[in-house]
Amino acid sequence: MLGESSFRASASIHSPSREVYMTVFAPWLLHDFAPGEGERQQAHTPALDTESWLPVAVPGDVHRTLVAAGRLPEPFYDRNEPEADWIQEREWWYRTILTGPHDALAPDERLRLVFDGVDTYATYYLNGEVLGESRNMFREHDFDVTDSLRPGPNTLAVRLDPPLQHVELAQVPAWDPEIIKPKVAMRKAQFGYGWDWGPVLPTFGLWRGVELRRERAARLTGVQFATVSLNAAHTFAVVTASAEVERFATDAPLSAEFTLTLPSGEAMTRQLTLEAGQTAGEVSFELRDPALWWTRDLGTPALHGLEVRLLLDDQPLDQLSQKVGVRTLHLDQSPDADEPGTRFFRFVLNGLPIFARGANWIPADSFVGTLTRERYEPLIRLAQQGHMNMLRVWGGGVYEHDAFYDLCDELGLLVWQDFMFACAPYPETDELAREVRAEAEYQVRRLRSHASLALWCGNNENQWIQEMRYLTRATGDLYYAKILPEVVAALDGQVPYWPGSPYGGNDHNSMLDGDRHNWDVWHGQRPIVRQFGDPIGLDRTLEGVSYRNYAVDLGRFISEFGMHAAPALRTLRRVIPEGELYHHSPSMDHHNKDNPKNKGDALMEGTTGLPGDLAEYLLFSQVAQAEGLKFGIEHYRRRMPHCSGALIWQLNDCWPVLSWSVIDSDNVPKAGYWFARRAFAPLLASVKTLEDGGAEVWLTSERREEVRDTLTVRLMDVAGQTLWTRDVDAGISHGQSHSVLRLEAGELQADGGHYLRLESRGGHFEASTHFFVEIKDLRLPQTLPTLEARAQPDGSLSLSVTASQYSYLVHFTSDEVIGFSDNFFDLEAGQSRTITATHPDRALRPEDVELKMFQARQPQPQP
Nearest to 591 by CA among 563, 566, 561: 566
Given a contact cutoff of 8 angstroms between Cβ atoms, the answer to whether 22 and 7 are in contact is yes
Q: How far is CA 284 from CA 7, 11, 26, 254, 780, in A?
A: 32, 21, 44, 18, 64
Given a contact cutoff of 8 angstroms between Cβ atoms, the answer to whether 224 and 241 are in contact is yes
Q: How far apart are CA 353 and CA 529, in angstroms?
A: 27
Given a contact cutoff of 8 angstroms between Cβ atoms, the answer to whether 192 and 231 are in contact is no
Active site residues: 461
Q: How far apart are CA 321 and CA 63, in angstroms?
A: 34
DSSP letter (8 states) at residue 437: H
Q: How far apart are CA 823 and CA 818, in angstroms?
A: 11
Cα 208 versus chain centre, distance: 19
Burial track 782-806 (b if 16+ CB lie within 10 A, e otherwise):
eebbebebeeeeeebbebebebbbb
Q: How far apart are CA 689 and CA 708, in angstroms?
A: 25
Given a contact cutoff of 8 angstroms between Cβ atoms, the answer to whether 769 and 814 are in contact is no
Helix-then-strand count for the chain, H and E = 13, 47
Burial track 645-672 (b if 16+ CB lie within 10 A, e otherwise):
bbbbbbbbbbbbbbbbbbbbbebbbbbb
Q: How far apart are CA 224 and CA 491, in angstroms?
A: 9
Nearest to 184 by CA among 503, 440, 573, 479: 479
Q: Residue 650, preceding bond cis, omega within 30 degrees?
A: yes
Instruction: Name the phi and psi angles at 289, rounded to 5.
Output: 50, 55
Amino acid residing at 711: L
Amino acid residing at 475: T
Could you tell me which residues are beta bridge partners of residue 797?
791, 837
Beta-carbon contacts of 23 under 8 Å, excluding residues fewer than 6 positions away, are 4, 5, 6, 99
Q: How far apart are CA 283 and CA 228, in angstroms?
A: 12
Q: How far apart are CA 67 and CA 64, in angstroms?
A: 5
The secondary structure of 575-637 as a DSSP string is TS-GGG-STT-HHHHHT--SSSTTHHHHHHHHHT---SSHHHHHHHHHHHHHHHHHHHHHHHH
Cα-Cα-Cα-Cα dihedral sign, residues 68, 70, 76, 77: positive
**R_g of the chain, CA atoms, integer Å:** 28
Cβ count within 10 A of residue 752: 19
Instruction: Name the phi and psi angles at 168, rounded to 5.
Output: -65, -25
